[in-house]
Amino acid sequence: MARVPVLGRLYWGEYMALLGAISVLLLEGVIRLLTMCMPDILIDWFYETSRCIFHHSHYALLAPRTPETEARADHVEAIRSAVNFERLCAIHGYVAEDHIVRTSDGYFLCLHRLCTKRGQRRARPGVRTGKPVVYLHHGLLMNSEVWVCLTDEQRSIPFVLVEMGYDVWFGNNRGNKYSKKNMTLSPNTNSFGTSRYDLGMTDIPETLEYILQLTKPTSGRLSYIGFSQGSAQAFAALSVHPQLNDKISVFIAIAPAFSPKGLASKLVDALMKSSPNFLFLFFGRKCILPSTVMWQSILYPPIFVQTIDTALVFLFSWYSRNISQEQKLAAYAHLYSFASVKSVVHWFQIMRTGVFQMYDDDAHSFYSKNFYHPVRVSCLSISRMIKPLIGDSVPQPQHHYTHRSPLRRFDSLVDIDAMLGQLPDHTIPKPVDVDVIPKVVEALEQYQSPEDGRKRASRWH
């Protein structure tokens, strides 16, 4: 198929899709402008009308209203409307600390810390506790709130670990809700955007160094838990910074993003992979999905949940069957945060090549790949124990899985076989059918001192 003469490097089909995307963006802009011009009383009327229509159409599905269901609904609404990480923790009875890491390239990253049990307060925040340290990092288009926005604290990994005696830390990627500050750059400039590899090159090593310097654990190490892209950032950091391996006890990768297969929608997948320029034309070069905040503010929460669910099924074939409706109502308001478009472009470059590699700055260079090729990130040099936790469709027999053992692949986005083929032999994947917390606790306890391990294991059981 010939390219459009003069106009650029896209195909005719891409220009048609781009025209449709621009129409959607224009429609969204009109809605946003009208929303800004409307008086609050009119916006409230539309909101209440949509609420009444929704409840009328779902009347048969609604549970009878009792004091118990009313209390539960109030709890869900408190989590949904919580404005920040500290408030989410306070709802469950925990007190969080805030810390700031200044990176070598001028970004200010916000870290959160939970090191006291439920209902306890620290007289001197910011000091070492002598407890084993665990670091958690979120996924793409997320922030630290994803770990603590659950309706039941027993299902929250950090809350369980705090009660077991761990000193738990949370990271945030540059550019998201908690880390939008830079010494010289504004978030509104194109230069502010970074790739996924940049996040692993600088942010992860310097964040972990800050935590270790402050906590000074006896072993000199911490445990790393990454979700999705949070795992990919650790893969990159441990590969490029060999000395970082000596500072990590175990690396637990939950639903690790390493070599994604692509999107469920073949048309969208083909367009996104074909040209990074298409992504930049559609989303700009700054932050992706800024309109999510607007839609979240004007849509009745159950309608917003249905909108997100529909998009997830269309793009990724994610049906979220294991997540209750009340959990979605509480959490969807906290899952999505600003992220760099360049980071998303980087993932589609990896999808297109099938290789875990650095960002391709010259994706449209006229030079042949015989003269230029982005460097592949080799993870075979990672010396720390890697424990990928991979979604499973049905409960599996309880036996030991090794790196080469057959494993039910049930991740609709990540190519598990491609990932395992590029990781060192001491990688031990574990299937997760229902609850990920016991697998996380098992991996952490295995790499603690025997005495501490027995104490925390007894509290868990």
342-374 per-position pLDDT tens digit:
777 777 777 777 777 777 766 554 445 555 667
Token reading at 221: 């190490």
Over residues 127-135, mean pLDDT: 91
Q: Is the dihedral of CA 51, 76, 226, 342 positive or negative?
A: positive
Q: For the domain with range 73-124+131-362+374-460, which CATH number is right: 3.40.50.1820, 3.40.50.11440, 3.40.50.620, 3.40.50.300?
A: 3.40.50.1820
Of 145, 124, 207, 203, whose CA–CA distance to 331 is shortest? 145
Please say if the pLDDT value at position 166 is more than 50.
Answer: yes
Dihedral, 85, 87, 89, 95 alpha carbons, nearest 10: 100
> What beta strand segments (E) does 301-384 contain?
339-340
The count of C-alpha atoms lying within 13 angstroms of the C-alpha of 119, restricted to the half-sphere facing its C-beta, is 0
Please say if the pLDDT value at position 313 is more than 70.
Answer: yes
b/e per residue, 97-119, with b = 16+ CB within 10 A?
eebebebebebebbbbbbbbeee
Average pLDDT, the chain: 76
Structural domain spans, the chain: 8-40, 73-124+131-362+374-460
Local confidence band at 407 (pLDDT 50, 70, 90 cut-offs)? very low
pLDDT of residue 115: 92
d(CA 447, CA 271): 44
In single-letter form, the type of residue at position 100 comes to: I
Over residues 443-457, mean pLDDT: 60
Query: By mean pLDDT, which of 111-125, 262-276, 379-393 is the weakest?
Result: 262-276
Alpha-helix residue ranges (DSSP H) falling in 120-249 = 157-163, 196-198, 204-215, 229-240
Q: What percent of the chain has pLDDT over 90?
A: 28
Local confidence band at 7 (pLDDT 50, 70, 90 cut-offs)? very low
User: For residues 382 and 400, which has the higher predicted lDDT (pLDDT)?
Assistant: 382
In tens, the pLDDT along 48-81 reads 776 676 665 554 445 566 778 788 888 998 999 9
In tens, the pLDDT along 187-246 reads 666 555 565 556 778 899 999 999 999 999 988 999 999 998 899 899 989 988 989 999
Token reading at 197: 């590899």
User: For residues 197 and 107, which has the higher predicted lDDT (pLDDT)?
Assistant: 107
Q: What residues contact 326, with CB distance under 8 A and at least 6 apart? A: 72, 73, 76, 151
Local confidence band at 405 (pLDDT 50, 70, 90 cut-offs)? very low
CA distances from 326 to 59, 62, 257 (A): 16, 12, 27
- Pick from 5-19, 397-411, 437-451 the range whose average pLDDT is largest: 437-451
Indicate left, alpha or beta for 431 from its phi (over 0: left) and psi (-120 to 50: alpha).
beta
d(CA 144, CA 166): 17
